[in-house]
Structure 1
């Protein structure tokens, strides 16, 4: 039997001026020596008494460090023999990465295999220049400073002070039942959605609704129609799902269903924003709604209806949901409170065909079990006590004023240089540019002026057939809009 060597004193130092306790310095020093393989499996450690003498400190912090290392499995103790580096630890050090001199584990990576889908999206999130800050014309920015936070805080406090057991334990994968009942009543009366509480699944926003739908409805390489131009977030979800996206052009009547059938008659699904097309702002016409539903029934396709901000219309009453016309249960209706309340709330919902509920529940349970309950409870009261309806009326008036100011300012400052699209609804509009102007360089110059105008071309999968600026006005005060448009005009002149 190989004889264990005498206790080894590794290069170990302590700093009495460090805010880190002595026992922690000793613990981390030994752990790093073992991880770096400067101490190997089976090597004997010095006694705590000799180590205390060597370091010139009390035995107490050393005993604490050794006890922790024993508990975590780095050390092992043998009666009558002493303390050793655990035999169960690997003995060979990983080969260092020749491209890095870092002492961190990131400098010595092993083989790292990642999914092809994630590689398509790339690493991290690098904000485009037009997403560089909060301010004038940032898309999807609501007027959060006008939200009734005093009311909301009182509702949260009501449920937080003496919470029921149902708010603290594991919940229903579909969501908080009272909230779903209140939401079903709202959707039936205001959006003409055909639903019961049993069909509503609460999610963390429209992105999760799309992800769940992709997991349940699609296979790798399933063809899916997407609006062209359209919502980039939906395209990211479909990319991760491995779907094959089929861009279908959009015109003044919304999605061109005939073009979609010509391009891919057997698509598995279609992602559509019929009430307020994103980003051009049009409404899917009645004839095309019926044509889309008829195609879905004949082909067995699914319709993902994203109704992201339909509560805000300024020239007419809100347009009824496409789902309300569906007689074959082909539509998955998706909504969110991010635009009508505030984005950080992270509460959205989906109305599912009744026969799909069990499958969605099983997938949801595998993903994150159930949605957080406290905000749902507060939002239930917000709906049933009339606060939501009052807030919507107030915000419609506010956004109408901001929309009108923006349209007038664009006409005054830029005249015939731009053509306004989609100003009848929502929280943004499009300033279409003449073909001679490129929107991306213009957006980059505008960002230098503190104007966050998204280029329309960023919403295309294929080569953009239109150039324009997507201007959000929800989060910009009416009094600030004229000056912001003047700064935008400066970007036009410097191009």
Structure 2
């Protein structure tokens, strides 16, 4: 008796090789759903591993892994030469199991739950355009060349080859002159900011931050018992003079000068110089968060604030999450030469080190020129997608919205012409499977900003954006 080949996947979408869900897990869930929905009944034969692998164009081992998992959980039974059947006497739920578990408390602990990738998701680069084949090749090479001492505890400062690659890249691309020993590799922006706080600040210190600004900056500093000093932002970035006057005893400032987060405006040159002069005069520190400074579309990327620093007052932070992919969990910090020793001491206390295999892959990716080429391709692609998404949204939403004219970044700011709560609208969009962040959530003392932040990097066409815009329109 031959099983109907279409049955296992009848109600699910085709296998998606670009999905974060492994192929064998997609096959596993197809059969789970088919059994749950009654499309496959107890005792019914399922396709042979070899036959299904050939039909789907997959390696036999991929299908065999899925079948083994189903057998181990009691959904399949092997009958030798008679083939594999759905287990007899199987009692299943009347509703299908979710494709991706919402938490890890259930009985299926074979995979780590993953958050869905939603349209307009923020801080998400174009994962569909990432050179995964090159990355896989470099990863395989780094694995093959792993030596015994590479498997010991990683350096808390970062892998030497990656620190060197970062220093070389910053010299060329961002105008920052530094030695590899000034570069510290961390597991993310929060870790970086926490390290700076431990090394240079004391509880109760005043820290200037942008308002509106990046919420995790405020949250982390407050958690470390710093005094938050919000400074308004206008079309030229942080109002430095106003912040200095309002908070004369501030010990540090956290700024996003290339593309202010969230407004994406650039900190003007006069204000950059004013901020540096203040830091030198007050012996204060400036933490420059250059999270996506490479992505500017109306001109060449602006030089980093750090490149203007003559007195060693700026600490520069960057991340691979925006230019490569978020799952990599690697960031870096460049400190003035005079602070290398204090930061080495703080790192030994507060950092655990990042996996060296991942660092080795990134270092190779950079040293062989793939990193620079990837950024160049993404800058062009993002410029195109930014324009396409803006046109698609305007086509669908018309006079209901306006879009801020932003020189760069990876998100658009959409403002509503008819006043309503941006937080409530963001929640409605999320419930409808669309992502948005409320601009008002970024505000502290300044409450005049309202709108939605929409990531555009993963929207591949104007037509897609227009269809998504129509879904937004239905929720206004």
Whether TM-score is above 0.5 comes out as: yes
**CA distance in structure 1 between the partners assigned to 2:179 and 2:212 by the alignment:** 33
List aligned pairs for 1:254-403, cutoff 5 A.
254-403=237-386
List aligned pairs for 1:46-445, cutoff 5 A.
133-421=116-404, 423-434=406-417, 436-445=419-428
SS in 1 for 2:414: strand
- Deviations along 1:152-183, whole A, 9 cap, x unmatched? 11111112123134422234332111111111
List, as ranges, runs of 4+ consecutive aligned residues in structure 1 with deviation greater than 6 Å.
Answer: none
**CA distance in structure 2 between the partners assigned to 1:451 and 1:337 by the alignment:** 25
Q: Could you tell me how far 1:404 is from its partner in structure 2?
A: 0.4
**CA distance in structure 2 between the partners assigned to 1:442 and 1:269 by the alignment:** 35
Q: Runs of 5+ in structure 2 lacking a partner?
A: 1-113
- The 1:174–1:298 alpha-carbon spacing in structure 2 relative to 1, beyond 3 Å, is same
**CA distance in structure 1 between the partners assigned to 2:276 and 2:464 by the alignment:** 43
Q: Could you tell me how far 1:333 is from its partner in structure 2?
A: 0.1
SS in 2 for 1:432: strand
Q: Could you tell me how far 1:369 is from its partner in structure 2?
A: 4.0
**CA distance in structure 2 between the partners assigned to 1:405 and 1:287 by the alignment:** 34
Contact 1:224–1:271 under 8 Å retained in 2? yes
Contact 1:136–1:481 under 8 Å retained in 2? no
Contact 1:132–1:447 under 8 Å retained in 2? no
- The 1:416–1:257 alpha-carbon spacing in structure 2 relative to 1, beyond 3 Å, is farther
Moved more, 368-377 or 449-458: 368-377
Contact 1:419–1:433 under 8 Å retained in 2? yes
Q: Could you tell me how far 1:422 is from its partner in structure 2?
A: 5.1
SS in 1 for 2:119: coil
Contact 1:403–1:423 under 8 Å retained in 2? no
Contact 1:138–1:472 under 8 Å retained in 2? yes
2:450 corresponds to 1:448: no
Contact 1:454–1:469 under 8 Å retained in 2? yes
SS in 2 for 1:475: coil
TM-score, normalised to structure 2's length? 0.73
SS in 1 for 2:441: helix
Moved more, 404-413 or 381-390: 404-413
Moved more, 395-404 or 442-451: 442-451
**CA distance in structure 2 between the partners assigned to 1:170 and 1:270 by the alignment:** 34
**CA distance in structure 1 between the partners assigned to 2:406 and 2:469 by the alignment:** 16
**CA distance in structure 2 between the partners assigned to 1:422 and 1:362 by the alignment:** 44
Q: Could you tell me how far 1:199 is from its partner in structure 2?
A: 0.5
Q: Could you tell me how far 1:457 is from its partner in structure 2?
A: 0.4
- Deviations along 1:5-34, whole A, 9 cap, x unmatched? xxxxxxxxxxxxxxxxxxxxxxxxxxxxxx
- Deviations along 1:129-162, whole A, 9 cap, x unmatched? xx98522111112121221112111111112123
**CA distance in structure 1 between the partners assigned to 2:191 and 2:382 by the alignment:** 27
* Aligned residues between the structures: 362
Query: RMSD between aligned alpha carbons?
Result: 1.8
- Deviations along 1:411-438, whole A, 9 cap, x unmatched? 3233344332253211101112347332
